[in-house]
């Protein structure tokens, strides 16, 4: 295992980080524009837009960095994103006046990256936290440390499995 | 902004994205062709920048917010170089997928830029 490098920035995880970086750029660009030019029009939506940009940047950095603390920060920021996209997504349907004064363009005007569950960004903001969580679970530090040790127990488990191969096959087929 | 040019740019961006992602999935590492496709995307963005600067002098004014348009254009101009640097540093097949993601984001952004340029704002 590559312990010296980042434990999360490997393989397909790098694509996840790249997509996070792109979304962080997109959210930052939009929120800077919104806050700089028309903050008074919808303070709550634009403040949230700025917050989401910061959280996306933090999540991107946390995914790249190694160590348990960054792992925890990654979980925190990605969870925040999921809560954010679900809450704002629901709010934009229940009470559109807060986040979407102009229903014609759901992805423009007073919207945030999370409005209508991220429809303006191809629902990427909705899908990304879920993929991020799956990736974090896949690369959690405890598992990382156990992988080398678990090789022996893994072979023992397969030996146990070979006692009843039919059960394994039916489980795989299900 | 010239509409047909923007749609050409959109098509090239999508094609480059598809090309890079397919090669990534086919376990190829970044090569001259995938990096070159991003260079083409960047070249078209530079042309788009020139068009955006010259257009107002030729009577082609943006009806939407020009500042928002240029924020999109500047961010879009950054994406191909950044993804190419990524591909040069990280010599794995996943870098091709990253190149593809960059090209796709640019393709989406130019369409959004067209919407902003031609928007009928109150």
Is residue B122 included in any domain, yes or no?
A: no
Q: For testing the chain A interface, which of B66, B68, B93 should be mutated: the one with the most A CBs within 10 Å?
A: B68
Q: Are A38 and A46 in contact (CB under 8 A)?
A: yes
Q: Name the least confident of A63-67, B36-40, B47-51.
A: A63-67
Is residue B42 included in any domain, yes or no?
A: yes
Chain-chain contact of A14 with B98 (C-beta, under 8 angstroms): yes
Residue B54 confidence (pLDDT) above 90: yes
Chain-chain contact of A26 with B97 (C-beta, under 8 angstroms): no
User: Which runs of consecutive H residues, i.e. helices, occur in A67-140?
Assistant: 68-94, 96-99, 124-138
User: Which runs of consecutive H residues, i.e. helices, occur in chain B?
Assistant: 3-25, 32-54, 66-89, 94-117
Residue B57 C-alpha, separation from nearest chain A C-alpha, in angstroms: 25
pTM of the model: 0.78
Residues of A in contact with B115 (CB under 8 A): 105, 108
Percentage of residues in chain B having pLDDT higher than 90: 85
Name the more confident of A11 and A32. Answer: A32
Is residue B47 included in any domain, yes or no?
A: yes
Residue B5 C-alpha, separation from nearest chain A C-alpha, in angstroms: 23
ipTM of the complex: 0.85
Cα separations in angstroms, B41 against B38, B45, B50, B58: 5, 6, 15, 25
Decide if A19 touches B, using CB distance below 8 A: yes
Cα separations in angstroms, A87 against A32, A94, A106, A168: 22, 10, 16, 41
Residue A60 confidence (pLDDT) above 80: yes
Residue A77 C-alpha, separation from nearest chain B C-alpha, in angstroms: 22
Domain of B111 in residue numbering reads as 3-117
The domains of chain A are located at 13-139, 148-174
Q: What is the pLDDT of residue A66?
A: 86
pLDDT digits (tens, 9 = 90+) for A105-118: 444 455 778 888 88
Distance CA(A57)–CA(A23), nearest Å, equals 9
Band (A100; pLDDT cuts 50, 70, 90): low
Residues of A in contact with B65 (CB under 8 A): 37
Percentage of residues in chain A having pLDDT higher than 70: 69
- Structure-token pair, residue B43: 């070249």
Q: What is the pLDDT of residue A156?
A: 41
Number of domains in chain B: 1
């Amino acid at each position: 295992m590559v312990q010296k490098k980042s434990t999360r920035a490997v393989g397909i995880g790098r694509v996840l980080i790249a997509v996070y970086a792109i979304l962080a750029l997109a959210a930052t660009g939009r929120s800077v524009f919104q806050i700089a030019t028309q903050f008074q029009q919808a303070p709550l939506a634009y403040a949230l837009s700025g917050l989401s940009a910061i959280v996306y940047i933090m999540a991107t950095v946390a995914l790249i960095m190694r160590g348990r603390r960054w792992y925890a920060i990654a979980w925190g920021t990605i969870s925040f994103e999921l809560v954010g996209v679900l809450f704002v997504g629901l709010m934009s349907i229940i009470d559109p006046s807060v986040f979407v004064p102009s229903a014609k363009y759901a992805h423009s005007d007073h919207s945030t990256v999370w409005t209508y569950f991220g429809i303006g960004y191809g629902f990427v903001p909705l899908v990304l936290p879920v993929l991020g969580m799956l990736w974090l679970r896949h690369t959690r530090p405890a598992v990382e440390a156990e992988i080398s040790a678990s090789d022996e127990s893994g072979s023992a488990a397969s030996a146990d499995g070979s006692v009843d191969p039919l059960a394994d096959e039916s489980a795989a087929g299900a | 902004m010239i509409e047909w040019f923007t749609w050409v740019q959109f098509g090239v961006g999508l094609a480059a994205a598809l090309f890079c992602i397919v090669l990534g999935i086919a376990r190829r590492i970044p090569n001259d062709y995938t990096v070159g496709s991003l260079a083409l995307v960047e070249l078209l963005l530079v042309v788009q920048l020139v068009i955006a600067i010259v257009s107002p002098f030729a009577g082609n004014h943006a009806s939407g917010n020009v500042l928002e348009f240029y924020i999109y254009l500047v961010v879009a101009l950054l994406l191909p170089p950044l993804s190419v640097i990524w591909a040069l540093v990280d010599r794995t097949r996943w870098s091709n997928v990253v190149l593809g993601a960059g090209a796709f984001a640019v393709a989406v952004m130019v369409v959004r830029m067209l919407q902003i340029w031609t928007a009928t704002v109150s």
